[in-house]
Chains A and B, each alone.
Chain A
Amino acid sequence: MRALDPPGVLWLMRHELRLGSRGMGVSRLFFLAFGAAIWILFHFVAWAVVRAAPPQAWLARAPALVIAAEAFLLLLVVSWAFGLAVRAIFDRGDLDLLVSSPVPAAHFYATRGCYVAVASLSTVLILTAPFANAAALQGHLAALLFYPVMLSLGLAAAGVAFAATLGLARAVGARRARTLAQLLGAFVGAGILIVTQIQSLLSPSTRVAWGSWLRSGAAHAWLGPESPLAWPLRAATGELVPAVTTIAACVALFWAVIASTQRAFVDTANRGLDVAPRRTSARRAMRAFRAGLAWVVVTKELRLIARDPLLIAKSLLQMIYLVPLLVLFARANPAWRLIGPAVVVMMANLAASFAWIAISAEEAPDLLASAPVSRARIEALKLAAAMLAPCVLTVPFVLFYARHSPADALLLALFAAAAMATSATIERWSARPAPRESLAQRHKDNMLVGFGEMFASLGWGAAFYLALGRNAYAWAPAAVPVAGLLVAAWLRRR
């Protein structure tokens, strides 16, 4: 049987790629064309960088930095591979059809693995491939080893993600495993940010100790050009022995995972996300009902948010970006005041996410539409529920500010409330029914809304920053979201 003929591995791979490329709207195609143009321009920058310093020389010049960058990119690939592996295992899609067909499980499992490898590499390839291309165009043809090396690294990342996710499914059950694997991927991505800030987060004495360790022989063994950690980079820049070794090791890892976990993959896919019934609670079964539209709508929204651990974790993960500023705050560094504008922006994002969940991702729209209540009233209550959690999360920061200046604390409360209300209003006006799982991709079909939300929250954050300094032009950045809302309201009326 030839691999290209049905149901060969390459034939299945073509099927995966076809499914992955479907559903692109005009705006997405435009975005891709725009991205391609930028990518071509990026080649000119890469050409200049490679001419000034060929990739082979980078490691010799600043080995620790280059190895850190390599680790950063590989961790990013692994974090994306986790998200994709979760979808490959748990999204039903065509799995029932494939599992019930006479195609060997190893074929479609390996095909899914290859797809995860390629998809998890895509962003890193966009950023790094121009350097390999530029080096090859400048005569260093071995730089083209970059492509098989990167593909093999993607396969290794896919293998790690599949093995870990299936292991979790076995240990804690499919549903929890899906949540944990998605969280793991998200934490790996967010953890990278903290690592990049480590220099500014360390105390002066720790920084000195870290510097002297970096100059020691032990550090040289790990972070020097001869370090085994540098092998993937040396492989990707065209060194033959590291390249062959890396490709062989990564492909062997991928093959070993596929061979040893194909049965677990089929079992987990067959079991799906069936939910085991929880134990019934006599006390809950006896509890009285509460009446009142406001109570039932707000309670229902808060229950649905509180019972979605992935949503909460992903939303609160944004708070991790405040950690560096909180450290500065603890050290009484004057830069701590930046935490306020950051809080304004993040609470606006959080309010937008929850507003989208409450309105666009409503699970029973027919029930609400057939109820004897106006849609406007229901939506207003849903927005109130969506803004409740970000409001509560803002309170500690308002109290932080109040310790230094009650006026600043009042300003923070006002600007955060305005930012949250703006984002929630944008979500309400642009609402389109969608499943809850689409939260992260909610702006793919309407990027204008995504940009509007981003500029509105940044506008309020900037306005608050200027207001903190009692700058007379603090109104200017706030005017952007206000004017945007007024124009949108006028357009809606027409």
Chain B
Amino acid sequence: MVPALEIRGLIKQFGGHYAVDKLDLTVPQGEFHALLGPNGAGKTTTLRIVAGLAPADHGGVRVLGHDIAADPVAAKRVLAFLPDDPMLYGKLDALEYLEFVAGLWSMDARAARSRADVLLGRLGLADKATQRVESYSRGMRQKLALAGALIHEPQVMILDEPLTGLDAAAARQVKDILVERVRAGGTVILTTHILEIAERLAERISIISRGRILAQGTLAELRRQVGHGGTLEDVFLELTAPDAGA
């Protein structure tokens, strides 16, 4: 079966600094994958290249077998990307926003409308559906952006810090929705600073630092790699310590 995401030898430089340095990553279909790393490790840059928002200097990215550089439309059709600080249209209401997103993905209007109702209901935004986004709180915006990412039922979801700004109840709703996507055969790849999320939800974890994957596997495999049975936090801190790669 073709992998959901396949990254080979990815390189991205900014002014001589390697943000991503020969990164390889393969995520099979139907997996919940967490990408962890310290600030400035190259997580967001990698995800932006995967989503087709930035070109790679070198290397290749395939989403369900579609090359993001050679055939971006086919790759993006099966993909959803949720940035860490999603930008929405303040003067549109939630329904108008979702109608716009559905139009971009060429969805059938009737199916889009019904899916919008379901998502807004699940995320607790149904009674705010006709209010302009400019009156939304940070958490409500995050939930609406997630609804936009989910409306076209993407096979691969790329989420950069999706739980930022959410309260405990909203975070639980979002986690449940993501787990359901994976159970339904979808693939979720997310970055997070909340290691507990990765520990509890992710089937496999990749730890990235200085633009390279340092370790990859299930939590048990990562523990074996560092040679002790600590928490994910212990493993993460040991692998990403400044002198770890020296």
Q: Which residues of B contact A281 (CB under 8 A)?
A: 130
CB contacts under 8 Å to B, within A266-283, are 275-278, 280-281
Q: Given contacts A277-B135, A303-B92, are A291 and B103 in contact (CB under 8 A)?
A: yes
A296 touches B76 (CB 8 A): no
B2 in the interface, Cβ–Cβ < 8 Å? Answer: no
Chain A residues with CB under 8 A of B74: 372
Would B87 and A374 count as touching, CB distance under 8 A? no
Does B51 belong to the interface (CB within 8 Å)?
A: yes
Instruction: Point out the residues of chain A lying under 8 angstroms from B90, CB to CB.
Output: 363
The answer to the question of B168 belonging to the interface, with a C-beta cut-off of 8 Å to chain A, is no
The stretch of B35-43, B106-114, B183-191, B218-226 in contact with A is B106-114
Please pick, from A277, A290, A369, the residue contacting B53 in the complex, using a CB distance under 8 A: A369
Chain A CB within 8 A of B162 CB: no
Chain B residues near A26 (CB-CB < 8 A): none
Which of A284, A293, A308, A364 gathers most chain B CB within 10 Å?
A: A364
Tell me if B147 counts as interface (CB < 8 A to partner A): no
Is B91 in contact with A307, judged by CB distance below 8 angstroms?
A: yes
> What sequence of 0s and 1s flags, for each residue 73-100 of chain B, a beta carbon within 8 Å of any chain A beta carbon?
1111101110100111111110110111
From A300, which residue of chain B is reached at the shortest CB distance? Answer: B100
**Contact assessment for B101 and A367 in the assembled complex, using a CB-CB cutoff below 8 Å:** yes
CB-based contact B103/A363 at 8 Å: no
Q: Is the CB of A291 within 8 A of B112?
A: yes
A289 near B99 with CB under 8 A, answer yes
Interface of A is mostly: loop
> Do the beta carbons of B99 and A285 come within 8 Å of each other?
no
Q: What is the CB-to-nearest-CB distance from B181 to chain A, in angstroms, rounded to a whole number?
A: 17
Q: Which residues of A contact B101 (CB under 8 A)?
A: 367, 371
Inside 8 A of B80's CB, which chain A residues have their CB? 370
A374, B110: Cβ atoms under 8 Å? no
B89 touches A363 (CB 8 A): yes
How far is it, in angstroms, between the C-alpha of A304 and the C-alpha of B104 when the chains are bound? 17
Closest chain B CB from A295 CB (angstroms): 7
* Cβ contact within 8 Å between A291 and B130: no
A291 in contact with B102 (CB, 8 Å): yes
Contacting residue for A366 out of B72, B81, B104, B116, CB 8 A? B81
Is A288's beta carbon under 8 Å from chain B? Answer: yes
Compute how far the CA of A277 lies from the CA of B137 in the bound complex, rounded to whole angstroms: 11
Nearest first, the 9 A-B pairs at minimum CB distance are A296-B103, A291-B109, A371-B104, A372-B76, A307-B91, A372-B77, A289-B109, A275-B135, A370-B81
Supply 26 A–B pairs (Cβ within 8 Å), ascending by A. A276-B135, A277-B131, A281-B130, A284-B95, A287-B95, A288-B113, A289-B99, A290-B99, A295-B103, A296-B104, A297-B100, A300-B96, A300-B100, A303-B91, A307-B91, A307-B132, A364-B87, A369-B52, A370-B52, A370-B80, A371-B104, A372-B73, A372-B75, A372-B76, A372-B104, A373-B104
Besides A297-B100, A365-B87, A369-B53, 7 other A-B contacts (C-beta < 8 A): A278-B130, A291-B108, A300-B96, A308-B91, A366-B81, A372-B74, A372-B105
